[in-house]
Structure 1
Amino acid sequence: MPKVVGHTPPWLCRPSPGASFFTRHPSKKPDGRTQNGNGTEYQGPQRTLARRDTEVFAVVDNQIRWADLATLKAEWSPKRKPSTKKNADADGNYYRTLTVPVYGQIKQLVISPNGAFMAIVTVHTVHIAILPDRSHLSSTERTPLRLKTYQLGPTTHVIPESPVVSALWHPLGVHTNVEACIVTITADAAVRVWELDRNNHWSFDRPALAIDLKKLVDGTSSDEDFTPLGFGKNKGFSADSFDMEVASASFGGTARQGEDAWAPMTLWVAMRPGDLYALCPLLPSKWQAPPATIPAISAAIVPKLTAVEQDYSAVEEVGDDLIACRQQYEWLKEIDNQEFMLDPFSESGILKRPSNPSAIPRLQGPFQFDAGEQFDDLEVTDFIVIPAGLDTEALMTGEDDEGILEENAQEGLPFTTICMSTSSGRVHVCLELDGVEGQWLPKAKANTFTTPLSEPAELLLVESLDTVRENLREAHSWPTFTSDISSRYSFYLTTANNVSFISLSSWVQRLESELQSEDTSGSQFRLNVLCDGNIALREVLIQLNESDLSFPEEPRHFTNSVVFTDYDLGQLLLTYRGSTPQAAEISEPQNAALASFSQSLHADLDPTTSQTLPPIQQKPRRTPYQVPAVFYADEPLKSFIDEHVPHRHRPSLQEPVRLSPSTLDTIAAAHRVLAAHTGLLEKAAADLFRRCERLRGEMRDQLEGIATVSERIKGVSSHIGEDGQRKEGSRSEDALNQRLDATKQRQRDLVERYANIRTKIAKLGGRPLSEKEKGWIGEVKLLSSSVEKTSENQTIQARLETAKSIAEELLVEVKHISAEQPSAPEETTTVSVSTPSQPKIPQKLQRAKVADAMKLVDRESAVIDAITARLERLNSSFS
């Protein structure tokens, strides 16, 4: 778990240059949360913060600002103000404004993987901006820079149409300085794939592939028309308008090494009611395949097709699973027949999308999970997909090169993990166990599928946790996820007033080791323990407990969080709300034993004195105080005349005051404006006063703790006089030495006990059971089952008595038979029998048989005695 070593650094607080980056212009009116085209209040994600290395892009006053955090930190000095303003503009701002011809409020900024393009998303429109290089942006010129932009689909993403929910850069698309691939998803479940080319402006007008999920969910053939309805066409009413209202979308992977091969080409779409759908494979006409993608898909498709064909070899009918496998094989065969075109900027090969079976995949889902009583609260806002790990054993079957296996190997579960957030701040962690593979609808002329309908699939819900307290929940909250840089099983959740870190890494490591273990004895019990315990570890990094003291018109919701990892910046989590930035400096705990030592420090002391010791004072963790924006705002009366006084009444302001209705209206309007401003000033001053009082109280507690420790030190040193001898009446040195020796002995006993317990645990779970131990367990189970299987009329005691009597009779009979046998000399090999018809038996063989019978009787007697002793113990325990 990461630890917060500091909150918003000084170089991001006033009056540093970094604070001006998020501060709005005083002459501009705050925008707040805008509305949709139909007049309703906007409800959607706020992703107005983006990063490119150490560069940050933010939306302030509906303008895109750019700054380099490393430069902002370098310009700040704790001792003196910057002496030069060569990197600042006339107002002393160390940022640059990027102007774009965008209509409406900007809601999302999405930067392409190579940093050459930036998608600017409003409620209904999408613009693609060409980002200049960092050296061009960081020049000494600080005038606003107009970006080269293209509107994406001028007749597609327009105000009368459905709002844009997500804009995703395809992880397998060809991304260069000229070409790119982006996927847009609207609220009416329309998915469009845009293959952008700066040399072909027509690529920005129409999508290369458009799919209406409401049509595709009921589709029966790949020859049908799944294109969304065009601009201005009546769509009519359908129940899917509510059940399939898109909340968010995400690709299943990022094309990294160690991921499942199908993950980066799978588009997951989450609906507001909680259903999830998957499109696999969704590819552009040109896509780049990582080195292990095609071999991994081949290793999965070919053996599966062989096994399914063997199952249907004796059956005349052809099943749907066999046809699906053949479709995957045809799709893979067309890829293998292509010639790889190497990308000069990467090691991936560029391929063409197979045309067979179809360019539009089958819609898989809906994927649902049983939330129980929490179903009424299920209103999905965002989700994150953690792909399954790559099956390296199947990939490297028959290969001798172990270096490739180590390169592609990566920790991870063999199934997909999906985490969904709701509007109330609750996070649901689910597992998709079956896996998502490429599927297509059949051709109309083939007519081979029986019922190609989408069947619901179950998700395994492993945990649901709340990230927002009940008294801090906002009315219009839209939590969003941010992936962690260090681990793919860790992420950040940003709500209206806090940012939390959630990690599944420790649980995934334990579960992965259990699934890969060769010893399956007790596996079910250990899996139940893993799933019943805490799965996700959560820590709140940023929390706003107090009311927002900024302007009422400013947003009351955090924008999305971004994480920076740099040598100069360290690991920094950044977000902002209104004009106030919020950050957290994160560091991994290096001294984990220090906390446990401080907690167990008083346990080794004497019980009579440990009650009087005060607890160790810890440093209080809270966000630092930031000056409210109202203190830096201009006086509202400066712009009062231009906004509230009509032109026909302005000449009268230069004349003596006359009692008239117009003068009364002007004074009343001025009073309303001034009263609102002074009210905010009073709240900000009261908040500062409360903080000062709390600080004084905390300082008083710290001083009292220091005084207590000082008295203890004086009490120890007061037993020794100026001459170095112990004073009379003080505790003797022998008593102190005895106490110290007792504490050391207690510590040694604890260490020895800990070592013994650790050794026992290592013996229990560190190695598999031997054959002797397994046989002993089976014998105990057989004995317990034989003891428990008793009839109603015959008790265990009666069976014991019967066994004893039979044993005694056998012993008497054996003794009687042995006594009747005549003794003969040892050299006689045969003995004559009275009946001539019976065969002659050697005497040695008779004695050997009798000895074996005696050993068998002794062994049975020992078993009976052991059973008797056990039954006596059972009777004593039951009584």
Structure 2
Amino acid sequence: MPKIIGYTPPFLSRPSPGSKIFTDPEPQSPASPSKRSSYIGPLPSTQYQGPRRLLASRGTEIFTVVGNKIRWADLTTVRDEWEDSTQSGASRFGLPRSDATKATDDSVYRTLAVPVYYQIRQISISPSGLFLAICTEHTVHIAVLPDPSRLKEHDRSPLKVKTYQLGPTVHVIPESPLVSVLWHPLAYATASTDCLVTVTTEAAVRVWEFDKANSWSLDRPKLAIDLRKLADGVSCDQDFEPSGFGKSRGFSVDNFDMEVSAACFGGRGREDEDAWAGMTLWIAMRNGDLYALCPLLPSRWKPTSTTIPSLTTTAVSRMASINDDETDIDERRAADQQYEWVQEIDNEEAQIHQSTDSLGEFEVRFRPQNPSAIPRLQGPFTIVPEEDATEIEVSDIHVFPAKLDEQDLFDGDDDDEIDQGLVQPIPFTTICVATPENQVWFAIDLDGVTGQWLPKKGKSVFGVPSSDAKSLTLIDIVTLDEPTTDTAANWPVFTPDVVHDYSLVLTTLKRVYSLSLYEWVSHLGAELTGTEPVDPGLRTRLSTRCHSQVCVTEQLVESREPSEVLSAPAIIDDTSLGYLLLTATSNGPYGVIFDQAPLGTSIIGPSITDFSVSSGRLESQLAKRPVSPIETVPLREPYCPPKIFYFNQHIPLDSMRQRLPPYPKKAISERPMRLSPAMLEIMTFTHRTIGVQSAQLENAAAELFRRCERLRIELAGQVKQMTELAQQLQRLTAATEEDENGNVKEKKTPDTRINEARERQSKLAARYEALRRKVGRAGSANRELSAKELAWMHEIEILGKNVGIVSKEDGEREGGERGTTLDKRFETVKQLTRSLVEEAHAAEKQQQPASPKGPPALEASVSSISASSITPSMSASQITVTSRSSGAAASPRSSTFGGLGVSSRLQKERIADIMATVEREGAVIEAAMKRLERLRMEY
């Protein structure tokens, strides 16, 4: 859930000029046509029971309905002008009051003149941003929006826009009212064409593919379906068009069981969604039953890059899973129809069009004609469990689609551009239903909805699929607040969050709530789509997950006046304006500003360097970080003066004076006042009117006094906290400090420590980036080695031949062939030792009678450096120590060689040469072994 960092921006709050965008000092136009002279003011808005969507946004542009007029404003321009006037210190509205009001209105917003007489209940901007759907209770008008450059002209006079009425003979007052007007997410939209879907309470679904150059497309829908007829249909060749105007209709139970309250599409037409979601229309009935129409497509539609592969994979896998011996004939024929429908799309040659917003090319395809353009009505889906006898009344519905598993979808494709770790697959559909009692029911559909059609006429072997109720898996019921006393006027509606997945905004009569299912859905999806084998703890984890908190709720807005009715909000996400939720009433706007940065992030805090994690895991890890105490400061909406302070107190008296008959009106205005029953009645009514205004002013003034007192107390507390904080900062910013031993040392300032931490972080990031690039280059395939690397490999091979390492041909053994150079040197040492031993034995035999003790000593001294004591694995230090110990042992017997005629000096030189040779060879062997070990570690 996003973090709230502020409320209504100051450039939209009173007394700034931006607040006048949403208020109208003039009386509102009537909600229904009336020519009676006694009509005073509009009908109460609480008499209307239905959705109120009076705000729409296009980037930073806002469209709002005030009275029965549509106003346009660019919030970025409004903010910049307000900042300029505030910083300059000079008011640009220093005129008389009437002139200032006129100048303010002209410079802030612009009125769009549209020929709509009845009260506007909903407005909706097309995804292309070129059309605006204006809906009353029974009629729909399509307005062609001007270019933003034309709306931003200095001339702020009312601008007349081109408007077309949709179906003037279809959507009329005697017919059933409208409940939903939806732009098709997969429609092929151009500068003059688009697709709109309207749903009425009498279960009539109409697909309008209008073209402003073709007036006939605005009179008749391209596809019209009566859901009550379709529910009882047996063949796709039947006529399912709704009955015409004025035709008699018989009684049916469906008049009550299939009374539509809301409708929505199962997806937004994104690439990571299930392919069937964007073409599935979900319809919610008043009694809680849900139905689905899939696929519902216009005659020309625009698929995403994953739609066609996903449809083909689903159809082929369903055909492959059918067993002729065990599968029911109805299921087999349904799979055949789905395969036929997908095959027609595959065989069609797609039309390539260039995008108008410079996003590249896209495909446009025609809707398949077989089996039929009208799908079968699937359902009813029941959200209430069978064992529960609770009856609910639905006011709105929203569906979160299943997420695609791109790893399975593109398995086997050699496409390096496909990043399979960004989208976490979610194998189920999440359905949210709101009730007038301010409850929200959450359920999931594990099977999903795919395309289905009725059989063709004459094929009796194919029966109508069963239409038994299918129960959805109910996961949670959230009660937002106490049920309102006026449940007839309360009609909660959903608004999807354009920034975060699995997040909703629910608007009731007096409050706006934020609902987030992201954490629960992502964790459950990860458990259900795990690639590892199912372990024994899966059931336990799923049970724990299902009993944990499903939805995180937070109240965002609450109306200040009891007579105010909130409109469904508009959510704006712009880099210059911020992440803003904006709603309004007849008395002014309400706004909530969210933090655009990820939750729990910090400038110098620890950063996640594992870039291999998916976006879902990354957001989960960021959400688990500890939040700084500075960021947990409680926020409160700023005080806004009540409307009674700005209300024109002369309006009630003027309206009362206008309703008086001519004679009393002259009596109180032209003639002297005389006491009479008529005058007493006028004075009594005037006193009641002024008394109500006085009571409201007293309550508003008392509330202002209480807020001032609370502000004074809170300000004193804030001053105390700031004093304590200043003392702590002074201790932190001290230049020196004493350690435990009493020594004074220099202490680093917080700025120095922050700079050092930033430098360490930048160095770590640079080091990580260098290692990542190095590993990427080392792991890349089919890359030729450089000349330096080839020379290094040649040097290693030569050294291996000289030293002796594991060869490629004999890699299974631990050691390979030894080098010839070192082997020859070692053999020379061994031969030298053997020759010395033989000479010692010969000398012993010749001098045995003369010195019996000499030869054994000489043998011992020479054998100490024999071949048995010198091995290739010995280091030079070990060989040196062995030789020196042997020489030390032989030194007392050196006098025995004097009888042989060999001088002692020659003997010592010979022994010294042998010792030097042994040390040199040992050092060479040790150096070679160390280098070999280092090379093996590098490999």
Question: Shorter-chain TM-score category?
Answer: 0.7 to 0.9
Q: Which residue of 2 aligns with 1:338?
A: 348
Q: Which residue of 1 aligns with 2:22?
A: 22
What secondary structure is seen at the aligned counterpart in 2 of 1:185? strand
1:464 matched to 2:477? The reply is: yes
Decide whether aligned partners of structure 1 residues 439 and 631 sit closer, same or farther in structure 2, where only a CA change above 3 A counts.
same
Answer whether contact 2:196 2:208 (CA < 8 A) is retained. Answer: yes
Decide whether aligned partners of structure 1 residues 283 and 708 sit closer, same or farther in structure 2, where only a CA change above 3 A counts.
closer
Answer whether contact 2:30 2:118 (CA < 8 A) is retained. Answer: no
Answer whether contact 2:400 2:430 (CA < 8 A) is retained. Answer: yes
1:528 matched to 2:538? The reply is: no
Q: Which residue of 2 aligns with 1:512?
A: 525
Cα distance in 2 for partners of 1:7, 1:619 equals 14
What secondary structure is seen at the aligned counterpart in 1 of 2:584? strand
Q: Please, which of 331, 335, 353 is the counterpart of residue 325 of structure 1?
A: 335
Cα distance in 2 for partners of 1:571, 1:593 equals 17
Q: 1:423 Cα shift? A: 1.1
Decide whether aligned partners of structure 1 residues 354 and 467 sit closer, same or farther in structure 2, where only a CA change above 3 A counts.
same
Decide whether aligned partners of structure 1 residues 591 and 45 sit closer, same or farther in structure 2, where only a CA change above 3 A counts.
closer
Cα distance in 2 for partners of 1:17, 1:559 equals 21
Q: Which residue of 2 aligns with 1:690?
A: 706
1:573 matched to 2:573? The reply is: no
1:127 matched to 2:141? The reply is: yes
Answer whether contact 1:571 1:586 (CA < 8 A) is retained. Answer: yes
1:646 matched to 2:654? The reply is: no
Q: 1:307 Cα shift? A: 2.7
Q: Which residue of 1 aligns with 2:4?
A: 4
Q: 1:260 Cα shift? A: 0.7
Answer whether contact 2:144 2:162 (CA < 8 A) is retained. Answer: yes
Cα distance in 2 for partners of 1:688, 1:354 equals 66
* Structural mapping, 1:771-790, within 5 Å: none
Cα distance in 1 for partners of 2:596, 2:366 equals 44
1:65 matched to 2:67? The reply is: no
Cα distance in 1 for partners of 2:221, 2:334 equals 28
Q: Please, which of 553, 563, 570 is the counterpart of residue 571 of structure 2?
A: 563
Cα distance in 1 for partners of 2:28, 2:279 equals 44
Cα distance in 1 for partners of 2:394, 2:42 equals 20
Decide whether aligned partners of structure 1 residues 371 and 332 sit closer, same or farther in structure 2, where only a CA change above 3 A counts.
closer
Q: Which residue of 1 aligns with 2:92?
A: 83
> Whose radius of gyration is greater, 1 or 2?
2
What secondary structure is seen at the aligned counterpart in 2 of 1:564? strand
- How many residues align structurally? 691
Cα distance in 2 for partners of 1:706, 1:17 equals 34
1:480 matched to 2:493? The reply is: yes
Q: Deviations over 1:296-353 (max 9, x none)?
A: 1111112321331xx10x57x9611110111112112222232211222263322221
Q: 1:530 Cα shift? A: 1.2
What letter corresponds to residue 660 of structure 2 in structure 1?
A: V
Q: Deviations over 1:184-207 (max 9, x none)?
A: 000111100111011110111111
Q: 1:512 Cα shift? A: 2.8
Once the two structures are overlaid, the 10-residue window that deviates more, 559-568 or 236-245, is 236-245
What secondary structure is seen at the aligned counterpart in 2 of 1:140? coil
TM-score (structure 2 length as normaliser) = 0.69
* Structural mapping, 1:842-857, within 5 Å: none
Answer whether contact 2:2 2:599 (CA < 8 A) is retained. Answer: no
Q: 1:133 Cα shift? A: 0.9
Answer whether contact 2:93 2:104 (CA < 8 A) is retained. Answer: no
Decide whether aligned partners of structure 1 residues 50 and 655 sit closer, same or farther in structure 2, where only a CA change above 3 A counts.
same
* Structural mapping, 1:289-308, within 5 Å: 289-308=303-322
Q: Deviations over 1:669-707 (max 9, x none)?
A: 333332332232222222222222332343455567678
Let me know the Cα RMSD of the aligned residues. 3.4
Q: Please, which of 433, 456, 470 is the counterpart of residue 443 of structure 1?
A: 456
What letter corresponds to residue 681 of structure 1 in structure 2?
A: L
Identity within the alignment, %: 45
Decide whether aligned partners of structure 1 residues 278 and 175 sit closer, same or farther in structure 2, where only a CA change above 3 A counts.
same
What letter corresponds to residue 696 of structure 2 in structure 1?
A: L
Cα distance in 2 for partners of 1:567, 1:448 equals 60
* Structural mapping, 1:384-783, within 5 Å: 384-404=398-418, 406=420, 410-469=423-482, 476-514=489-527, 515-521=529-535, 522-544=537-559, 547-548=561-562, 552=563, 556-587=564-595, 592=600, 619-636=633-650, 639-640=654-655, 643-652=658-667, 653-699=669-715, 701-702=717-718
Decide whether aligned partners of structure 1 residues 221 and 710 sit closer, same or farther in structure 2, where only a CA change above 3 A counts.
closer
Q: 1:382 Cα shift? A: 1.1
* Structural mapping, 1:19-418, within 5 Å: 19-26=19-26, 28=28, 41-77=47-83, 78-79=86-87, 80=89, 82-83=91-92, 90-93=102-105, 94-308=108-322, 311-312=323-324, 314=325, 319-345=329-355, 347-370=361-384, 376=390, 378-404=392-418, 406=420, 410-418=423-431
Q: 1:30 Cα shift? A: 8.9
Answer whether contact 1:88 1:142 (CA < 8 A) is retained. Answer: no
What secondary structure is seen at the aligned counterpart in 2 of 1:581? strand
Q: Deviations over 1:709-741 (max 9, x none)?
A: 999999x99xxxxxx9x9xxxxxx999xxxxxx
Cα distance in 2 for partners of 1:695, 1:455 equals 62
Answer whether contact 2:290 2:379 (CA < 8 A) is retained. Answer: yes
Decide whether aligned partners of structure 1 residues 677 and 392 sit closer, same or farther in structure 2, where only a CA change above 3 A counts.
same
Answer whether contact 1:34 1:42 (CA < 8 A) is retained. Answer: no
What letter corresponds to residue 92 of structure 2 in structure 1?
A: S
Answer whether contact 2:580 2:594 (CA < 8 A) is retained. Answer: yes
Q: 1:138 Cα shift? A: 1.1
What secondary structure is seen at the aligned counterpart in 2 of 1:398? coil
Answer whether contact 1:492 1:501 (CA < 8 A) is retained. Answer: yes
Decide whether aligned partners of structure 1 residues 699 and 373 sit closer, same or farther in structure 2, where only a CA change above 3 A counts.
farther
Cα distance in 1 for partners of 2:340, 2:725 equals 79
Q: 1:385 Cα shift? A: 0.9
Answer whether contact 1:424 1:473 (CA < 8 A) is retained. Answer: no
Cα distance in 1 for partners of 2:601, 2:153 equals 48
Q: 1:62 Cα shift? A: 1.3
What letter corresponds to residue 308 of structure 2 in structure 1?
A: I
Cα distance in 2 for partners of 1:158, 1:591 equals 49
Q: 1:211 Cα shift? A: 0.6
Answer whether contact 1:124 1:163 (CA < 8 A) is retained. Answer: yes
Answer whether contact 1:561 1:574 (CA < 8 A) is retained. Answer: yes
Answer whether contact 1:89 1:143 (CA < 8 A) is retained. Answer: no
What secondary structure is seen at the aligned counterpart in 1 of 2:698? helix
Q: 1:231 Cα shift? A: 0.7
What letter corresponds to residue 684 of structure 1 in structure 2?
A: A
Cα distance in 1 for partners of 2:69, 2:219 equals 25
Decide whether aligned partners of structure 1 residues 155 and 28 sit closer, same or farther in structure 2, where only a CA change above 3 A counts.
closer
Decide whether aligned partners of structure 1 residues 46 and 471 sit closer, same or farther in structure 2, where only a CA change above 3 A counts.
closer
Once the two structures are overlaid, the 10-residue window that deviates more, 631-640 or 103-112, is 631-640
Answer whether contact 2:49 2:488 (CA < 8 A) is retained. Answer: no
Q: 1:9 Cα shift? A: 1.4
Once the two structures are overlaid, the 10-residue window that deviates more, 189-198 or 695-704, is 695-704
Decide whether aligned partners of structure 1 residues 262 and 616 sit closer, same or farther in structure 2, where only a CA change above 3 A counts.
closer
Decide whether aligned partners of structure 1 residues 128 and 617 sit closer, same or farther in structure 2, where only a CA change above 3 A counts.
closer
What secondary structure is seen at the aligned counterpart in 1 of 2:417? helix
Once the two structures are overlaid, the 10-residue window that deviates more, 59-68 or 225-234, is 225-234
Q: Deviations over 1:393-435 (max 9, x none)?
A: 342133121423549x623411111111111221111111111
Decide whether aligned partners of structure 1 residues 589 and 302 sit closer, same or farther in structure 2, where only a CA change above 3 A counts.
closer
Cα distance in 2 for partners of 1:645, 1:290 equals 66
Once the two structures are overlaid, the 10-residue window that deviates more, 200-209 or 661-670, is 661-670
Decide whether aligned partners of structure 1 residues 100 and 301 sit closer, same or farther in structure 2, where only a CA change above 3 A counts.
same
